[in-house]
Each structure stands twice: as C-alpha cells, then as structure tokens.
Amino acid sequence: MTTTQETEDQSKPGPLVGVRVIEVGDRIGEYCGLVLAGLGAEVIKVEPPEGAESRRMGPFVDDVPDPEKSLHFWTYNRGKRSVVLDLDTDDGRSGLEELVAGGDVLLDATPVGYLDERGLGSATLRGRLPELVVARMTPFGEEGPRKDWKASDLVHLALGGQVMNNGYDPNPSGEYDLPPVAAQLDHSYAVAGEQLAFTVIAALISRRRTGQGQHLSCAVHEALAKNTEGDLMSWVCLRTPFNRQTCRHSAPNVSIHRSIFQTKDGRWILASTRNAKLLGPFLEKYGIGDEISDGSDEKTKDSRVLPGMEGGAARNMDAVEHTVRRYLFEDVPWREAQEAGLMWVPVRKPHESAYDEHWLQRGTYGDIEHPELGRSLRYPLSKWIATETAWVKPDPAPRLDQHGDLRTTITPRPLERSSLIVPERLSQHGQPWALQGVRVLDFTWMLASAGATRFLAALGADVIKVEWHKNLDPRRGGNPVGGREAREAATGPVPSQWPADLGGPVGAQYNNKNPGKRGISLNVKHPKGLEMARRMVAESTIVAEGFSPGVMESWGLGYDELRKIKSDIIYAKQSGMGTAGIYGRFRTIGPVAQAFAGTSEMSGLADPFPPAGWGYSYLDWYGAYSFALAILSAVYHRDVTGEGQAIDASQSEVGIFMTGVPALDYQVNGREWQRAGNRSPYATAAPEGLYKAKGHDRWIAITCANDADWVALAKEAGHIEWLSHADFATAADRHRNRAALDRLIQTWTAEQEPFGLMQRLQAVGIAAGVAQTAQDRVENDPQLASLEWLTELDATNFGHWPVAAPSVKMCDTPQYAGGQVGRGAPIYGEHNYEVYEELLGLSRDEVDELAEEDAI
C-alpha cells in the first residue's frame, strides 16, 4: 500500500542528500547510521569478511539462522551499502582510507584503540583529511578508568539508571518483590545514537562555514545516565530517590492511581482517571458518571501531577476499570474518550501501529520490496513530516559486500562552503560555536519539545524562550528548602518548595530542561504582543513550539503566516500524535505516547504480568533528541539550499521507530511480540539477566555472550562444577535451560556485594553492571565523573546547581550546557529588557509601558 504522504515525499529530497558516511564497527553505531541514511546520507557500511555481528542476530526468516536473513540486520541497516574490508591486512586498511577520503563522516563504533593500532585513528585521518568529521561511539568513552569495560545493551541500561526507574509496584509493605525491568532491543544504542546523529549534523553545519571537520565522541554510558528524566535532578537537588511503578512515571512516591486497565480479552488500555471534570461527563453515558470524585476526598496526593490531570480519587479507577473490563480490546471507546479530552489509548503490541490509518496517512511506515521473499515488508521509516524534505524510502539492507566495487569508484568531492557570513562568538571554552548565527524563537514547553531547544542552546544557538504567565511551562518544584547549603548538609530527603511567584525559583527539573536560554514574557493575544512576535520572527532562524495542534495558527503564527514574514523561516512543532492525520488533536504525555506506539508492551515480565512500560519516560527525553534532529536537519538543508520549511513531528513516531524488528517478525514469521523480562525473546546470550545481589533492592546485570564468558563466570564464582552440568554444557543447552540457569546464578549473586562483584566480573572480561540509582550515578560512578557529565550553572533565584552536560564531546566547537548566556534556565521574563532592546530596539521605558499594557 502506498500512502498519499509517501507519494508526496518521494518527490522531496532527504535533508542530508549529498553527505557520505563511512560506518565501521559493531552494532552500537548502527542506529546512528540508520538515522543518517534515513535522512538521505549515503551510508557505506564497512564489514569484516565474516560479516557484521548483527547479521548473526535473530530473529531470522523462518527462524533459520542465515547472515543474509537476519530481521535485526534488515531493520538497522536498510538503506545502507556494504563493502567488505579486512582491516588486519594492508589491502583492507588502504581500502578504508580510500573510502574515508571520499566521505564526509566516519562513523566509528570500533573498540577503543582499534583503528589507532592500525594507523587509522581519528587524529591520523583528520591530519590527512582536515574536512573529515569523525563521529566516535564507544561503550564508556575514550578516556577514564572504565574505558575498557565490556558492556551489553542490558548492562548499559542497568548502569545508566533506566532499569531502576522501570518495573512493577512494590508489595503493600513497600518492598519490591520483583526485579526492575529493562527496555528491549538495543534501546541503549538508540538513545546514544540519536544524540550522536544530531551532533553530527551540527558538525556538518559548522564545517560548511569553517571548512574544518572535527572529532566527536559519545559514550553510551554517559548518554544513558542523563536519560532518566526525573530521578537525576530529584537526587541532585533534593536527595530524594525515585521509585518504579507499573506502566507509570517513576516518582518519589508510588501512586495509588493505576494507569492501565485490562479488557475482557486480557489486553490493556492506558486510561487517565485524574481529570474529574472530563471523566464524569464521559462516563455518565455508561451510568456511572456520578461515581467520579474531584479528589477532595483523597487522603494523600501524588508527588507528580501534570496539567490537565488534577483531581481524582481511588474510586475513579474503579469506574474506569468497570467500563474497560466490559469491552473487548478492539471495541474500547478510547477514541471517544480522547475526543472528550481524556488521555486514553490502547497499549498496543509493537506491530499493530503498522496497520493504523493515522500512521499510514502520515507516511510513518513504508513498504520495501524484498525480491528474495517475493514480497514487500512494512518498516517504520519516518519520524516527522516536512514541507520541503522527507525521510527517504530506502533499499532493503545490503547483502554482504553487495557494493564492494565502491572501493574503486568512490572519489573525493570538493566541500561546498556556506556563503553565510556571521559574527564569530566564542564559547566558555574559548572556541567557536557550531551554530553560529542561529536564533530560535522558542515557544516550546514541557520536556519533549523544550528539551530539544536546550540542545540547540548548548550548540551555540541564541534560544529565546517565550512564555506568558497564564500558560507557563510547568516548573514542577524541586526547590530545596534552604537551598544548596541545606542539600549538601542533608542525610535524607530535603523538603521541596514551590515558587512563590512568577519570578521565583524555576525548579530543579525545569532548570535541567532549559539551561542556556534567554527568557522573555510575551502576550501574543494582545495586538502589540502579536506584532512584537512577528517582528522577532523576522530576526530568527527557527520558530519552535510544542503546543497542541492549531494553537499557533489560532494566534496568527502558523507557518503560512510566518513565511510571509521571513521566507526561509524554519517552523518546527512536536505533539503527541502529530498534527496531520486523524488523531492530530488527541492528547498525550510520554507514557501515553509510549503505550500507543507499542513500546510499553515491549517491557515487562511474560504474561500474566501486565506490561511494565518505560517509567523513565523514554519518549520525553528521546522525543527531545529526535526533535533536535529534525530541526538541525532543516538548518542544514537551509544552509545548503536557502529553503526554510515546516516540520510536523510526533512523540509516538519516535517510539514507533523502535518497533521495526518485532514488526518484521510478525510479518515474516507470524509471531507477535511476547515479553520475556530482562532478556530479549530473540537473544541467545545465557546467562543474561538482572540478578539479585546483597543489599536492599540491589541488582546486577550480567551478560555471558559466549562459552569463554561462561567459563570465566564459573571460575570467578568458585563453582567450577557448573561447567560439567549437562544442562549447561553448550551455548544451546544454556539457552534452552535459561530458567534453571538463572536460578543457579541468582543463588550465588544474592550473597555478593554488588559493586565488588561488578568489579570482579569486569576484571575477568565479563559484561556486568550494577543497576544504579541516581545516587550511584551522581556520587559513586568514577567514569561519569571523568567524563564531566554534569555542569554547574547559576540560575537566578535558584542558585548554583549541576545540570546534565551535552552527551557528545566536540573537539573544535565544544558544547556548553549554559549556552551563550552561560547560565541555567531563565526565570519568567528575565531577559525582557535585553532581548527587546537587541531585537526590536525598545528602550527600558518602552518595555515597562508594554508590561503595564499586558502586552508582555
């Protein structure tokens, strides 16, 4: 089926058309290469003679292992080209040099020191090819005490903090009787890969202006450690830990409000029970509207309540459950609930969105022909819609060495320099910014959109955050009573206070989402305020927003109006479902988008347990990464062509992009995704899992990928007799008897101190990592400390506090979380005088007069 959007997009170029990427290394870099290929870059995958590691990863067509029929490889390498080079030979090394000489970016995911030992390290190559951008992806970084540690996707998710934010409610005594739960399917490499991808584009933008490439370095561990949304700043500023809870945001307290409800046929619906004003009238048609509470009878309040979710009580859950339980999954009136303003969505399996009319209309999916199967397969191919560019429809993943002749035909190309001349400003590091001269008029709020412009500020863009006091970006507290001094002296949780007024403290979470920005107040509903906004558009490169669809248009600031003001303006918006399509006005927050995208179902213990969801709100931070990618791809396209454009992005599509493997498995093998706890249903490593360790709620991730790992584990455990156990003699035996093997391993690990055990296992070459809390990451992780993963910034009326530093190091245009202003998040209207004088030439008296008129 070819969609209307797909037909339109086929006539549009990818924003990175003309860029050539040479990808080398193992699978931790494949997601980054996939994204760059999807945006139109030519990605040449260099494989060893035996083929890439991911060719040997299941599932396979008809479940028959075949390096040319791995559905994992097909998913993450579509649209790429394959060239075989043996880098242990002179011929192979010279072949890589030839390819790199004809490329723009070297995406290097080889082990630390691998290319240097072969005379092909970043410094050597850039010495010969100064225009080359080297994008380096490593498990733990290129420097630091743990740079040589081994990892797996599961180990990264444990050390990064994801698993301790994800799992099931504790028992009534408050004790966790089940392990935390990891996300699935190379989740960690996607989180890091997305951040590296948008930084690659920033480096390409900088290169067009300077003629110089540079070295980029991304540690998967660092990228994950700051990807957990709430727990990090809660610990940094309040010394308050977060707790995991079923299919809900992790939070300081476990909420009594369930979020998912079971249908008659055993499926699940995620349904908000909190908005009493909307829930009562909606359920009245079922005769139970008078059962709804406004929350006044509730004895305890949740620690986390979002706008539009106020009120509610335990009995509201009973009413919703009574309603949902009477329906089959396909018949639940969730669309009607959405139309009534309620955040209800089905908890979909990861393949199901591929058949939803909304995503088909948007061109989120595309059908790729597979001649070897005699049919086409449907892949998630697009994360946003744009007016001038499009995600490209790729060829299927290449056969091994399918494009081997590229080595002899590829030739260097002259770099096209930008004609744009902008004043150079130096960063805190005394070096230029990557985004010289870029200005963002920032109407974003919350995390998924505001987080994106945070990254642009760290790259040097002038980001001007626009707010109006009647619709403020939620500050969400996080302000410790007694400030930094009280926090540093504390031995337990520090009480939190909310801002007393609009100019008060901005809050720890807000500060981490908006550092480096300037802040102004502006009432665009006032004629003078609207005119000021329009004048500032004329001085901007980008207008970004994260409101519900139609809000900016209602103010007279939609794309059609904006491009009348400035023809090359970039207008970028992100919502839960995307504006175009039949669900354009449906409401979401991170967990709602996750459920709808099919990703919540991908995490949890096997039936009859419910889905665990992703409690660190994956689609909030990850939505921010993807939105930054969308904006920067448009900036690059504008720099090359002079064209602006409008972008319509959605959080749900970001999640859908991660469902490619199970979607293919369903189409090829007829198999629906089945949750399997902390091991992927496709994985072969055994033992692999999260195992109980000594201490309260302490767990350790261990991955034994091969026989050598298994032997090393048995020896380190002092249980050499495990090696002679008939049920565990071979890798196939261990995989077949995983449940018994896991019980055996946990009997041993339960008596071991977790951090000491991690050190011992890593010392003998086994991938292992403690399931770290925010406290562990902030206070006890020497690798994160060596990477300088947090940056101290001053914020007005809040104080001097750490925020997360950008995850990707750039050697020539280093990022800085404080941006050009060198500070944390702005208070309401903090830069009114400065911005309005600079952009509009207004005096302080004129600004004061506009404030008195309620225009600003």
Per-residue pLDDT tens digits for 444-469 = 988 889 999 999 999 999 999 999 98
Residue 10 has pLDDT above 80, yes or no: no
124-160: b (≥16 Cβ within 10 Å) or e: ebbeebebbbbbbbbbbbbebebbebbbbbbbbbbbb
| Distance of alpha carbon 738 from alpha carbon 748, whole angstroms | 15
Q: What is the pLDDT of residue 289?
A: 67
Residue 7 has pLDDT above 80, yes or no: no
Residue whose pair of structure tokens reads 């800085």 in the numeric block: 816
Residue 307 has pLDDT above 70, yes or no: no
Q: What is the pLDDT of residue 292?
A: 77
Residue 313 has pLDDT above 70, yes or no: no
Distances (CA, A) of 261 to 106, 315, 338, 547, 737: 48, 14, 16, 28, 33
CB 587 within 8 A of CB 654: no
- Reference 382, options 591, 618, 79, 599; nearest CA is 79
Tell me the mean pLDDT in the region 741-769.
98
More confident residue, 120 or 298: 120
Instruction: For 780-834, write each residue's pLDDT tens digit.
Output: 999 999 999 999 999 998 999 999 999 999 999 999 999 999 999 999 999 999 9
Q: Which of 104, 153, 186, 742 is catalytic?
A: 186
Residue 519 has pLDDT above 70, yes or no: yes
| Distance of alpha carbon 178 from alpha carbon 339, whole angstroms | 37
- Reference 283, options 271, 272, 292; nearest CA is 292
Q: What is the pLDDT of residue 507?
A: 86
pLDDT band at 499 (very low <50, low <70, confident <90, very high): low
Residue 196 has pLDDT above 50, yes or no: yes
Residue 302 has pLDDT above 70, yes or no: no
Give the largest Cα separation in the chain, rounded: 85
Which of 153-157, 213-217, 447-451 has the lowest average pLDDT? 447-451
Tell me the mean pLDDT in the region 17-43.
97
Instruction: For 347-394, write each residue's pLDDT tens digit.
Output: 999 999 999 999 999 999 999 999 999 999 999 999 999 999 999 999
End-to-end CA distance of the chain: 50
Residue 314 has pLDDT above 90, yes or no: no
pLDDT band at 308 (very low <50, low <70, confident <90, very high): very low
For 618-774, strand residue ranges (E) read 645-650, 688-692, 699-703, 767-770
Strand, helix or coil for residue 137: strand
Residue 517 has pLDDT above 50, yes or no: yes
Residue 3 has pLDDT above 80, yes or no: no
Q: What is the pLDDT of residue 187?
A: 93
Residue 125 has pLDDT above 90, yes or no: yes
Q: Measured in whole angstroms, how far is the alpha carbon of residue 79 from the centre of its chain?
A: 22
Tell me the mean pLDDT in the region 726-731.
95
Instruction: For 316-348, write each residue's pLDDT tens digit.
Output: 888 899 899 999 999 999 999 999 999 999 999
Give the chain's count of helices (H) and strands (E).
33, 26
CB 241 within 8 A of CB 304: no
Residue 274 has pLDDT above 50, yes or no: yes
DSSP class of residue 562 equals H
Tell me the mean pLDDT in the region 646-674.
96
Q: What is the pLDDT of residue 773?
A: 98
**Tokens linked to 311:** 């009120």
Q: What is the pLDDT of residue 189?
A: 97
Beta bridge partners of residue 571, listed in sequence order? 543, 646
Whole-prediction pTM? 0.95
- Give the chain's mean pLDDT: 93
Task: Enumerate the H helices of 642-683 as residue ranges.
Answer: 651-656, 660-669
| Distance of alpha carbon 13 from alpha carbon 799, whole angstroms | 47
Percent of the chain clearing pLDDT 90 (strictly above) = 82
Does 186 qualify as catalytic in the annotation?
Answer: yes
| Distance of alpha carbon 240 from alpha carbon 464, whole angstroms | 31
Q: What is the pLDDT of residue 296?
A: 64
Residue whose pair of structure tokens reads 């549009």 in the numeric block: 12
Beta bridge partners of residue 84, listed in sequence order? 47
Containing 125, the helix (H) or strand (E) segment is helix 122-128
Q: What is the pLDDT of residue 501?
A: 55
CB 582 within 8 A of CB 654: no
Tell me the mean pLDDT in the region 464-476.
84
For the four alpha carbons of 162, 168, 173 and 176, in that order, the dihedral sign comes to negative
Q: What is the pLDDT of residue 299?
A: 60
Residue 303 has pLDDT above 70, yes or no: no
Instruction: For 405-431, write each residue's pLDDT tens digit.
Output: 998 899 888 888 887 777 788 888 999
Q: What is the pLDDT of residue 6?
A: 57
**Tokens linked to 153:** 């996707």
Residue 298 has pLDDT above 80, yes or no: no
Q: Say if residue 265 is exposed, middle or buried (CB neighbours under 10 Å; 0-12, 13-18, 19+).
A: exposed
Q: What is the pLDDT of residue 457?
A: 98
Tell me the mean pLDDT in the region 479-500.
88
Tell me the mean pLDDT in the region 591-615.
92
Residue 4 has pLDDT above 80, yes or no: no
Residue 301 has pLDDT above 60, yes or no: no
Q: What is the pLDDT of residue 98?
A: 95
| Distance of alpha carbon 35 from alpha carbon 41, whole angstroms | 9
Residue 315 has pLDDT above 80, yes or no: no
| Distance of alpha carbon 43 from alpha carbon 378, whole angstroms | 21
- The set of residues, in sequence order, having a beta carbon less than 8 Å from that of 723 and lying 6+ positions away, is 710, 711, 714
